[in-house]
């Protein structure tokens, strides 16, 4: 049980690292707060909250995975390498696609509330 609980400490260390070192992670955290506040203001229903939550989680999880991939690539390939760069670009593209999807979900949910 102690080992299980200690794993949470490592997870929070990872979140803290990402927040302190990654501007894009901080931007996503700020966007999350703003979307939650907007959701509370517009009184989203359960279904809408579910979609918003999935969109937020997808973007944040992929941002964390992207950060981990960047750290790993920098560790194993500290010198300039085109394949290492491609790995980083593809991981970043996954975050971009998720962000675009999250934006579309947000527009579908929020725009009708202001029309």
Q: What positions carry a catalytic annotation?
A: 63
φ/ψ (deg, to 5) at 81: -150, 125
Q: Is 48 annotated as a binding residue?
A: no
Q: Is 74 annotated as a binding residue?
A: no
Host H or E run for residue 16: helix 2-21
Ligand-binding site membership of 89 (annotated):
yes
11 known ligand binder: no
Contacts with 61 (C-beta within 8 Å, 6 or more apart), sequence order? none
Compute the distance between CA of residue 74 and CA of residue 59 in angstroms, rounded to an integer: 22
Would you say how long the chain is, in residues? 115
**Known binding positions for a divalent metal cation:** 70
**Known binding positions for ATP:** 10, 70, 88-89
**Known binding positions for substrate:** 63, 92
**Known binding positions:** 10, 63, 70, 88-89, 92
């Amino acid at each position: 049980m102690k080992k299980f609980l200690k794993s949470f400490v490592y997870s929070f260390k990872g979140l803290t690292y990402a927040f302190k070192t990654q501007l894009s992670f901080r931007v996503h955290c700020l966007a999350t707060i703003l979307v939650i506040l907007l959701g509370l203001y517009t009184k989203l229903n359960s279904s809408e909250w579910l979609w918003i939550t999935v969109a937020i989680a997808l973007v944040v999880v992929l941002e964390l995975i992207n950060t981990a991939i960047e750290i790993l690539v920098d560790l194993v390939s500290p010198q300039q390498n085109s394949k290492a760069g491609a790995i980083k670009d593809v991981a970043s593209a996954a975050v971009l696609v998720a962000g675009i999807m999250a934006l579309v979900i947000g527009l579908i949910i929020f725009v009708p509330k202001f029309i």
